[in-house]
Amino acid sequence: MRAPKLSDDQLQEMYHALRLSRAFEERLSLLHRQGKILGGIYSGIGQEAITVGSAYGLRREDFISPLHRDLGALLVKGVPPGVLMAQVFGKRDGLSRGKDSYLHSGDTSLGVYGNTSMLGSNLPVACGLAYGFKLRSQDHVVVAYFGEGAANYGDVHEAMNFAAIQRLGIVFVCENNLYAYSTPFEKAFAIPEVSVRAQAYGFPGVDVYGNDLLRVYAATQRAIARARAGEGPTLIECKTFRWHGHSEHDKASYRTEEELLEWKARDPIPQFERYLTEKRLLNDASRDEMTARVEREIDEAVAFAESSPWPEGPEALEDIYAP
């Protein structure tokens, strides 16, 4: 199965998503340094090719189940940047209306299941979404994300086995950025690749270079087609690297400078820009235009978040139970 061919417009759209995601997270870092936002920020800078490439082209009814570095996937799925920013700020116009931070919320009408901090525990819920689609004979798919660190949490095993037995329409995307907080891959795995585990469940596991947007897109599209056809899940492991520390106050002294520089040289954005330039879809002027456009969008998002009211204290007691 080959991935559907992308039109020029689609390529431009993906480029926009890539740049918007990067700009959004850069702004979050800045706001964090300025002390303007509370709580943890878990930057996915360096990993955007995975979140954008895998979430791009999903239907509205399809679901994503993102983890902490997958802000790009939420943007691609259509969560408005202003709403996301208000969420980060803890304001009333955020998805949580101030109840929780960052990516811990979602919007079922957009097909977004926001996770909790219990890493990997999103996967059983993602299976439930996929099982619901199966019960209704709908061919919607679920793209569920997790880090290689989370791969060792027991729920991941339970979910993959269940998905395999039920041949669910689900794509497991493992973002292997080589470190789980400070723990390097070798200290957490006695196998060379996470993707080999798929064999044990009885579905395909593929290993993809995660900094190449088009390769991630192609691999995900093949898995999505398989899922829609009722042939069951796929595990896609995407090798990548996060540029920032685990969270913004982590200096990441557990890894070497060379390692970081090596991976920065593999920045997914210039790589995609070279491709667009070759296709004559990008030049210096349009690149600058894009820079200005995403900056404007982020400014608007920040302005929206700043002007959004704080929730009032007693609202803390609302939304615990459905009426």
Ligand X SMILES: Cc1ncc(C[n+]2csc(CCOP(=O)(O)OP(=O)(O)O)c2C)c(N)n1
Which residues of this chain interact with other proteins, rule CB under 8 A? 94-100, 104-108, 113-114, 116-118, 121, 123-135, 154-155, 158-159, 161-162, 165, 318-323
CB nearer other proteins, residue 145 or residue 162: 162
- Backbone φ and ψ of 284, nearest 5°: -55, -40
CB of 67 to ligand X, least distance (A): 7
263 binds, among ligand X, other proteins, none (CB under 5 to 8 A by kind): none
Distance CA 49, CA 212 (A): 6
135 binds, among ligand X, other proteins, none (CB under 5 to 8 A by kind): other proteins
User: Alpha-carbon torsion 214, 217, 220, 221, what sign?
Assistant: negative
Tokens for 290, please give them. Answer: 């894009």
CB atoms within 10 A of CB 12: 16
307 binds, among ligand X, other proteins, none (CB under 5 to 8 A by kind): none
- CB crowding 22-45: b at 16 or more within 10 Å, else e: bbbbbbbbebbeeeebeeebbbbb
Distance CA 50, CA 215 (A): 9
CB of 193 to other proteins, least distance (A): 24
CB nearer other proteins, residue 114 or residue 205: 114
285 binds, among other proteins, ligand X, none (CB under 5 to 8 A by kind): none
CB nearer other proteins, residue 40 or residue 124: 124
147 binds, among other proteins, ligand X, none (CB under 5 to 8 A by kind): ligand X
Distance CA 62, CA 70 (A): 16
CB nearer other proteins, residue 45 or residue 159: 159
310 binds, among ligand X, other proteins, none (CB under 5 to 8 A by kind): none
In order, the DSSP letters of 226-245 are HHHTT---EEEEEE---SS-
CB of 242 to other proteins, least distance (A): 24
Does residue 237 touch ligand X according to CB under 6 A? no
Tokens for 117, please give them. Answer: 């901090």
Residue the block writes with tokens 């996915």: 44
Q: Which residues contact 75 (CB under 8 A, 6 or more apart)?
A: 17, 20, 21, 24, 81, 84
Closest CB to ligand X: residue number: 147
| Run of H or E residues at 174 | strand 170-176
Contact map string, positions 169 to 198, toward ligand X, x by CB under 6 A: ------x-x-xxx-----------------
Binders in 117-156 for ligand X, by CB under 6 A:
117-119, 147-150, 153
CB of 311 to other proteins, least distance (A): 9
Q: Which residues bind ligand X (CB under 6 A)?
A: 69, 117-119, 147-150, 153, 175, 177, 179-181, 246
